[in-house]
Amino acid sequence: MAADLDVLNLFVIAGATLAVPILAFVASVLLWPSALVKVYYWYWRRTLGLQVRFADCGGYRFCYASRGKTGTRPSILMLHGFSAHKDTWLTVVKYLPKHLHIVCVDMPGHEGTTRTNADDYSIEGQVRRIHQFVENVHLNRKPFHLVGTSMGGNVAGVYAACYPDDICSMTLICPDGQWCVHPHETKFDNHLQDLKHSDYTLNIPLIPTTVEEMEDMFRLCSHVRFKIPQQVRKAGILQGLVDVRQPHNTFYHEVFMEIVEEKSRYALQEHLHLITAPLHVIWGKQDQVVDVSGAMVIKEVLPKCRVDILENCGHSVVMERPRRTAKLILEFIILQQDARGGTKKSC
């Protein structure tokens, strides 16, 4: 009888030991859904073999995720868009070969990268900071392929114009920073004008503060209408996404105001003629944030550039078409490298 009690006690102790972390995890998800979002990104990075690293540059710290080492193919540096972070690229990295050297950096002030003054958030300010990062991690020992989406595409284009020796080729995905060929303004441009005339008091749809505004942002940025399951709502996942962003909204507002100023808003358009690296443009045909006609503006200035327009796709190309995006990027890199003499030579 005593022996049976001892065995029962062992089971109770073991069960309690297992229950504590499980209950703690469930409680954290219910009480702090933002914790689940962070765990999700951590797990996905780990699954894909990406390691988070830091680069310190004279008191300024960059946070980035990387995978692989420099090889016969050029390294790939990926620049995310406004109010996003390095993990934006996980959906695309999933479909890129594991032997490629990939670097996804948090843009100035975003996520784990140092947040300083507004000078760093203009497009040219961000370009200077990204070049500082590139030199610090010695990414430009060999010319690399630069990828940028939205605001990151604006920065990438200006970077290629200012530091041509660093770049062997580049891909711009729905970049902002140029005018529309249509005489009327894009929806995004109209909103910018509304902001200016209202003394910056309107809500900015790219800076959601509630679950409803988060859903509105999804609808604005994505052509595919994702139906949010009731279970997801109850679990508080959307609230978790809002909670993760909420502490940074003042900063996002500051960045937004900086990049819509004329010197930043048209930065890419004004630097296009200085780009010498082979250029690849990917755009969602149903982009509601930056009009797809921008692709033709780039094509007019740089007629040799390759343009891929994706049907049934909005502004969030990397989320809506990650497999296709990865395939197009890789094809372009290989094509340019082969044109320069094959895979045995560096880009």
pLDDT tens sequence across 253-309: 999 999 988 888 899 999 999 999 999 999 999 999 999 999 999 999 999 999 999
Residue 236 maps to a domain: yes
Report whether 62 contacts 133 (CB < 8 A): yes
Residue 1 maps to a domain: no
pLDDT score of 94 more than 50: yes
pTM: 0.84
Annotation says 197 is catalytic: no
Residue 118 maps to a domain: yes
> What's the pLDDT score for residue 342?
56
Residue 11 maps to a domain: no
As for how many domains the chain has, the answer is 1
Tokens of 80: 């995310």
> Of the listed 122, 150, 169, 316, which one is catalytic?
150
- Identify the CA nearest to 110 among candidates 244, 222, 242, 236: 244
> What's the pLDDT score for residue 99?
92
Q: Distances in Å between the alpha carbon of 337 and those of 145, 278, 346?
A: 11, 10, 8
State the Cα–Cα distance between residues 143 and 340, nearest whole angstrom: 13
Annotation says 106 is catalytic: no
106-162 residue pLDDT tens:
999 999 999 987 778 999 999 999 999 999 999 999 999 999 999 999 999 999 999
Residue 273 maps to a domain: yes
CATH number at residue 156: 3.40.50.1820
Q: Which structural domain, as residue segments, surrounds residue 80?
A: 34-340
Residue 23 maps to a domain: no
> Of the listed 287, 291, 308, 316, which one is catalytic?
287
> Of the listed 80, 110, 271, 315, which one is catalytic?
315
Residue 92 maps to a domain: yes
Annotation says 287 is catalytic: yes
Residue 82 maps to a domain: yes
Residue 246 exposure: Cα atoms within 13 Å on the Cβ side: 12
Report whether 33 contacts 40 (CB < 8 A): no
Q: Give the mean pLDDT of the chain.
A: 83
